[in-house]
Chains A and B, each alone.
Chain A
Amino acid sequence: MALDRTSLRTDIGYLSRRRKAAAQPEPRPAAQTTATSPELGTSRPSPSGLTLGANRARSGGLTLDGRPAPTPSAKASVTPGPGPGPVPSPSERFFPAPDFGSVRELGEANPVVRLNARQSAIGSLLVTGVRSVAWEDQQLTAGAHHVDGHKAGTAVVTPGNRPLAGVQDAAGIVSLRHVRLLRRVLFVAGETPLTVGVFDGAAAAVAARNDAGLRSVLYVARVGALLELRAEFVAADASDAAIWAIFGFNMTIPLDQRVLRR
């Protein structure tokens, strides 16, 4: 069965919007539509895919035998197909994880919470108690910002002229308006607990160290439209560079603006 590539797949979180069909004229009266159907039956558009059989007309994809490919009917071309059906809720599509706000403290007992689509996209994700923040965007552009002002890698600037992620006033911040640009973020704890909050008031805390004395790291990953927060632990004396390596972050080299603006 041919895939309908124009309908919206709302059941798949990472597919965003439907591919909008090219602008078409207003539907013509039925008589005209009927009159055009023979044309459709006899026109021979170039095949857009591999054709191995004798039939070379009207094929939009792979054909392995000599049988004619299905002929699109005129009616089908003007009658929209069924729209998207009921959408399963995210809780039905993902593995179970507590809602953000239902767990007050993340740690080894409760390491993960998941934000809903509204929490993941409105305002800012604000994290206090950080030593540094490292980010990686959809293009794998990576950078980091230490509360003492040191920076590494490449900043990602949003259309609103703000960093996608960074440090301001000793707090780590992610711009959730542009959450779709984000891949993941690391918030490395300093000497005080990490506290994380979003616009709706939901919040959670992570102790700066676990019972074994390991340093806490809050790992934020975007899964489709949703953010997941996970408490991880690293050696207390691990440097930022060592922590980036543990989580597979490779700082990208920023391009000189003079190179970009010639």
Chain B
Amino acid sequence: MASMVAGSNAALTAENPGLDKVLLGIGWDMVPSRGPQAELVPMVIMCGTDGRAISDDHLIFFNQIASPDGSISFAGAEDQEQIDVDLTRVPESVHKIAVLLYVDPEVRGPGTFGAVKNAYLRVATDQNRELLRFTVPRGNLDKINAMILGELYRHAGGWKFRALGQGYEAGLAAVAADFKLRL
């Protein structure tokens, strides 16, 4: 298992021959509160070569739990969220698979990542053998309300993974604008 830092990348399929399915595990801890809490939501966006979402249906989250082609599906279990990715079934038009967390934009005090600790994204085999792990560095996240944790992307006929930890202060609306999603 390799621990990654923001900006680093790993040759996922080149270093793991035969790897055709991966499990993405996302988790975090929250500072306990008796009042309304920020509610984090994992999300995956399938993007074309231009970095934009292929379509609104290529956003996968808890209420749209599989991609139209069936290559990505939310499984759920040990981490807060687990996502199955069948790399062999990902359409050729998909160049990048971005993995995000956003704070639900609830009108009754949505909150931020300020109360979030130990957020991580890990990449494992479909048998849950961990290959890579990226833990979001602890810093001042009080203004952050969405974050790209990392991305899978095509490279030289295979797939690589890049750890990012890129935060947004304008939340899901900014994510939607970046990825050209109608949210």
Contact = CB atoms under 8 A, between A and B. Distances in A.
B62 A8 contact: no
B174 interface: no
Interface residues of B, number: 43
Most buried by A among B67, B104, B128: B104
Q: How large is the interface on A (under 10, 10 to 19, 20 to 34, 35 or more residues)?
A: 35 or more
Contacts of A84: 66, 70, 73
B65 A122 contact: no
Contacts of B70: 8, 10, 83-87
Nearest to A101: B182
Interface string A13-25: 0001110100111
Interface stretch (A43-51, A65-73, A175-183, A231-239): A175-183
Nearest to B126: A80
A18 B76 CA distance: 8
B73 A8 contact: yes
B4 to A, nearest CB: 22
Contact of B37 (A118, A122, A160): A160
Interface of A: 8, 10, 16-18, 20, 23-27, 83-87, 89, 116-118, 120-124, 126, 158-162, 168, 173, 175-177, 179-180, 199-200, 225
Interface of B: 33-39, 41, 56-57, 59, 61-71, 73-77, 82, 84, 86, 89, 104-108, 125, 127-129, 172, 182-183
